[in-house]
Amino acid sequence: MSQEIIQLKNLIKYYKVGNEVVKALQGINLKIFKNEYVALMGPSGSGKSTLMNLIGCLDTPTGGQYILNDKDVSKLDDNNLAEIRNKEIGFVFQTFNLLPRSTALENVMLPMVYSGYNKAERTKRASEVLDSVNLTDRITHKPNELSGGQRQRVAIARALVNKPSIILADEPTGNLDSKTSVEIMGLFEEIHRLGNTIIIVTHEEDIARHAHRIIRLKDGWVEVDELNKNIRNMKYYQSEASV
C-alpha cells in the first residue's frame, strides 16, 4: 500500500468580491500518495491556482479538511502554516523568485536559515543540491548572470534543500523556451525517480504528459482524475489513486 501524503476532504474555498461570493472550490476530495507525480490542470477560473495555494499552505480553506502527513493543517494560523511550508513543501515558480543580489548558493541556502541550520551546514547542503542539478560551476553567479534554465535549476535546488515531502511547481516552464523546458522536465523526472512527491500546476498538455497522474479541474470541481496511460511501469494502482 502506498502512503497517503495528502488527503483533501470536501475542501471548499469561497471568496467575497464586493457583494458577490466566488465559489473557487466547491468540495474537492483527493488523495495524493508518497512519490506520486501529479499534474493539476484546468482553464482560468477552474480553481487550480486556489487549490495549489491551499496545498502549498499559502491559504486556508473555507471548509473541509486538508491532512498533510497525518496532520490537519486546515485551521492552522499563519505562523504554523509558515513553519509547515518551510519544512514540508518546496516551491518552484514560473518567475523563479530568486533574490537578484544574492548568488546561486545564497539563494539556495535561504530556506535553511529559517530552519535553524548554521552557516557551515547551510553551505554544505546547498552546494550538494546545486551539484545535483548540475550547477556546481555557477554557485557564485547572481541571477542576472544565469540563463533562464539555470535560474530555474537554482529555484529547484532551493526547493529541494530542506528535503521537503512535496515539490510544488507552478507553471515551472512558463518562462522557458521549448528546448530548456524539456531539460527542466527531465530534471523533475529524475527528482521523482529519487523518491520525491511532485505536483505540477500547468495549463500545457505537453508538460502535464510528463506526470503519472493528471487531475483536471473545472468550475471548482475535479472533472477528471486519471492515470497517465502513456507512462509505463506505474507504481500506483487504479483503485487507490483517487477517491
Beta carbons of 166 and 86 less than 8 angstroms apart: no
Cell (9 digits) for 8:
483533501
* Strand (E) or helix (H) holding 23: strand 20-33
pLDDT of residue 230: 81
Per-residue pLDDT 10s for the chain (243 aa) are 479 999 999 999 999 999 999 999 999 999 999 999 999 999 888 999 999 999 999 999 999 999 999 999 998 999 999 999 999 999 999 999 999 999 999 999 999 988 889 999 999 999 999 999 999 999 999 999 999 999 999 999 999 999 999 999 999 999 999 999 999 999 999 999 999 999 999 999 999 999 999 999 999 999 999 999 887 544 443 334 433
Closest CA to 132 of 106, 101, 107, 157: 157
User: How does DSSP classify residue 2?
Assistant: P
Q: What is the CATH number of domain 4-227?
A: 3.40.50.300
3-class secondary-structure state, position 127: helix
Sequence-distant (≥ 6) Cβ neighbours of residue 8 within 8 angstroms: 28, 29, 30, 31, 54, 55, 64, 65, 66, 67
pLDDT of residue 75: 86
pLDDT of residue 232: 56
